[in-house]
Structure 1
Amino acid sequence: MFVTSTHAHITTWGIALILFIIALILHAKGNKVGFKVTQMILRVFYILVIITGGLLFIHNQSINPAMYGVKLLGGLLVLGFMEMILIRLSKGKRTGMFWILFIIFLLIVLYLGLKLPLGFHPFY
């Protein structure tokens, strides 16, 4: 069975957030080719984030199954909102509500990630 560490998961979602910001900057500058390439690379990192997060969930969910389940669902929603923002930007549609939901769920997931037993515990 594969076991992953929190370091692998944090690295993958950290890179995913950086790629998300880069894609937003490229879109703002009108670089369509760079935007598409960055979006495709970001999609690979979505898969890596889901795999590492899923392995962490399977391996550690017995500690606090309800809260880790909420964090898993919230993490999937964060990735979904990231993708929806980029898709709607590329189509020229409004993204305001997706930005609000993205920020809310990102803060919830970060809080749970730090608060739960595998986190860094700055809230104790």
Structure 2
Amino acid sequence: MNTHLHITAWALAFILFIVAVILHKQGSEKASKIVQMILRLDYLLILYSGGDLIATFFKGDNPYLVEAIIKGLAGVWVIAAMEMTLGKIKDNDSAKAGWIQLVVAFLITIALGFFRLPNGVWFG
């Protein structure tokens, strides 16, 4: 159940992130700020559900513990990169570094979450 909550929260986060970027590019500062605040609330749901998922790896002698911790750190990195990118876009600065970090952190998170750790695509 918590895996579904976590994936749903991440999907919502990416949708909100894209909407915030588009609204800012269109000049709708107030709407962009509202969407970004909702996105920040969604981060709390992501952190809660992700923390609960990582906690399951601390039970017993789990061979996936290190990978789960790395995946969690990469997930926090994704959140930080999203915030950094939105901040740079809002300040009309170059957001290239933020986009690069977002893509790298996202790929690490997806690779570990869906293809390496249990309950992913290959583990069911």
Q: TM-score, normalised by structure 2?
A: 0.91
Distance 1:121 1:95 in 2: 34
Match in the other structure for 2:120: 119
Residues 55-111 of structure 1 deviation map (CA, whole Å, 9 limit, x = unaligned)? 111123443110000000000000000011111111111110111111011011011
The unaligned stretches of length 5 or more in structure 1 are none
Unaligned 5+ runs, structure 2: none
How many residue pairs align between the two structures? 119
Q: Among the aligned pairs, what percent are the same residue?
A: 37
Q: Which of 48, 53, 59 pairs up with 1:51?
A: 48
What secondary structure sits across from 2:27 in the alignment? coil
Per-residue deviation, residues 18-62 of structure 1 (Å, max 9, x unmatched) = 000000110110100110000000000011100100011112344
Question: Normalised by the size of structure 1, how large is the TM-score?
Answer: 0.91
Structure 1: distance between partners of 2:87 and 2:3: 29
Deviation of the 1:120 alpha carbon: 1.4
CA RMSD of aligned residues (A): 1.3
CA contact (8 A) 1:61 1:68 kept: no
Q: Corresponding residue for 1:109? A: 109
Query: In 2, Cα distance between the equivalents of 1:38 and 1:84?
Result: 15
